[in-house]
């Protein structure tokens, strides 16, 4: 049995979202692990008083404010690294995955991603250039370090031209990326394939509410438990085997367009895993902890 720090953030620890289902997964997971005999504590990643060495396993679960405090988050990761604290998922993987520039790394290694135009910090937002580069009539712009659809925009060319000054101001704060809007998200939905301990666990299909493009459940999106289509499963399996073999959890998000799977995100930091949608998922999660932690816990 393990002593586990279930790492979260201040807002969840203070139960500010108690009326929603956002934090249910954490509480359900904690209850399950305790029932199996593990000692589990919630710990806030940004709390300097935490003695991380007192835990067998530091389990990064819901640090859902890291993108607002990313330099502080990087400093925390460095501190853990210097103290040789082992974390699930691995620190190096978390650091890499925190910035969406990792998508370009995957693309260079042959993974089909949603076409992406990089918008470096300090540059100007020139709508005509971006729309022409992506050959689209509708654009999605998002920060390179973000979560929960924060500062994410869905725009026509006319609207992008109107908001160019606003977006240029945002570009002074960090890198952004632009992608063509994919109508398949509204017509078909976005697939999320969840892997635990490096093995496929379950799958959901997420759909936005009417008139929206964001599929997050706390923004009104729908969630349907589905078996992963075989051709999509093969692609997601390959992505996880190549880039997340040492991870406790991975969520592969993508959309099917013209018969192929386009990766939107490979979530390796703090994804909602929809554990309550699939029978046996909590047991598979615990088995994943044992499998991955066995590499460094005596």
Mind listing the pLDDT tens digit for each residue in 248-289? 999 999 999 888 899 999 999 989 999 999 999 999 999 999
- The token pair that represents 289 in the structure block: 């902890």
**Per-residue pLDDT at 87 exceeds 80:** yes
**Per-residue pLDDT at 149 exceeds 60:** yes
Let me know the angle formed at the C-alpha of 219 by 171 and 178, rounded to the nearest 5 degrees: 30
The whole-angstrom separation of Cα 97 and Cα 91 is 10
Residue 135, CA distances (Å) to 156, 173, 267 in order: 12, 27, 27
Looking up tokens 């108690």, which residue turns up?
A: 18
pLDDT digits (tens, 9 = 90+) for 192-210: 999 999 999 999 999 875 5
The whole-angstrom separation of Cα 48 and Cα 80 is 11
Look at residue 298 in the predicted model and tell me its pLDDT: 56
255 sits in which H/E element: strand 249-257
- Read off the pTM: 0.91
Topology annotation, domain 102-112+184-274 = D-amino Acid Aminotransferase; Chain A, domain 1 (3.30.470)
Q: Confirm if 231 and 33 have CB atoms less than 8 A apart.
A: no
Q: What is the DSSP string of 185-202?
A: HHHT-EEEEEEETTEEEE
The whole-angstrom separation of Cα 293 and Cα 288 is 8
**Any bridge partners for residue 199, and if so which?**
196
Look at residue 221 in the predicted model and tell me its pLDDT: 58
Would you give the distance in Å from CA 88 to the centre of its chain? 14
Let me know the angle formed at the C-alpha of 243 by 140 and 241, rounded to the nearest 5 degrees: 120
Q: Confirm if 30 and 42 have CB atoms less than 8 A apart.
A: yes
**Any bridge partners for residue 154, and if so which?**
140
What average pLDDT does range 179-199 have in this prediction?
92
Domain ranges of the chain: 3-97+288-293, 102-112+184-274, 117-180
Look at residue 210 in the predicted model and tell me its pLDDT: 55
**More confident: 35 or 207:** 35
Look at residue 209 in the predicted model and tell me its pLDDT: 53
Provide the angle, in degrees to the nearest 10, between the axes of the packed helices 281-293 and 24-35: 70
**More confident: 21 or 137:** 137
The whole-angstrom separation of Cα 269 and Cα 145 is 12
Let me know the angle formed at the C-alpha of 221 by 93 and 178, rounded to the nearest 5 degrees: 55
pLDDT digits (tens, 9 = 90+) for 51-70: 999 999 999 999 999 999 99
The whole-angstrom separation of Cα 59 and Cα 4 is 7
Burial (CB count <10 Å: 0-12, 13-18, 19+), residue 295: exposed
**Per-residue pLDDT at 112 exceeds 60:** yes
> Which residue in 12, 89, 76 sits closest to 47, CA to CA?
76
**Per-residue pLDDT at 101 exceeds 80:** yes
What average pLDDT does range 6-32 have in this prediction?
75
Q: Confirm if 279 and 74 have CB atoms less than 8 A apart.
A: no
Q: Give the length of the chain.
A: 298
Question: At the top level of CATH, which class does the domain 117-180 belong to?
Answer: alpha beta
The CATH code belonging to domain 3-97+288-293 is: 3.40.50
The whole-angstrom separation of Cα 195 and Cα 248 is 8
> Which residue in 112, 89, 90 sits closest to 234, CA to CA?
112
List b or e across 166-184, with b for residues whose CB sees 16 or more CB atoms inside 10 angstroms.
ebeebbeebbbbbbbbbee
């Amino acid at each position: 049995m393990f002593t586990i720090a279930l790492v979260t953030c201040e807002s969840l620890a203070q139960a500010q979202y108690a009326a929603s289902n956002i934090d249910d997964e954490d509480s359900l997971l904690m209850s399950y692990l305790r029932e199996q005999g593990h000692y589990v504590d919630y710990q806030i990643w940004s709390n300097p008083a935490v003695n991380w060495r007192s835990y067998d396993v530091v389990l990064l679960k819901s640090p859902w404010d890291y993108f607002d405090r990313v330099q502080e988050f990087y400093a925390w990761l460095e501190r853990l690294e210097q103290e040789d604290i082992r974390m699930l998922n691995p620190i190096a993987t978390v650091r890499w995955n925190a910035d969406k520039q990792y998508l370009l790394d995957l693309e260079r290694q042959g993974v089909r991603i949603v076409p992406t135009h990089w918008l470096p910090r300090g540059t100007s937002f020139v709508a005509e250039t971006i729309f022409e580069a992506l050959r689209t009539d509708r654009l999605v712009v998002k920060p390179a370090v973000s979560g929960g659809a924060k500062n994410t925009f869905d725009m026509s060319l006319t609207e992008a031209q109107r908001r160019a000054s606003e977006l240029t101001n945002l570009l002074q704060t960090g890198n952004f990326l632009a992608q063509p809007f994919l109508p398949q998200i509204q017509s078909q939905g976005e697939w999320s394939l969840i892997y635990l301990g490096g093995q496929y666990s379950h799958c959901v299909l997420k759909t936005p509410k009417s008139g929206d493009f964001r599929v997050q459940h706390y923004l009104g999106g729908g969630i349907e438990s589905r078996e992963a289509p075989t051709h999509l499963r093969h692609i997601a399996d390959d992505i996880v085997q190549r880039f997340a073999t040492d991870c406790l959890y991975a969520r592969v998000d993508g959309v099917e367009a013209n018969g192929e799977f386009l990766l939107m995100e490979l979530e390796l930091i703090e994804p909602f895993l929809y554990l309550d949608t699939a029978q046996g998922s909590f047991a598979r999660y615990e088995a994943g902890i044992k499998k991955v932690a066995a590499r460094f816990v005596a």
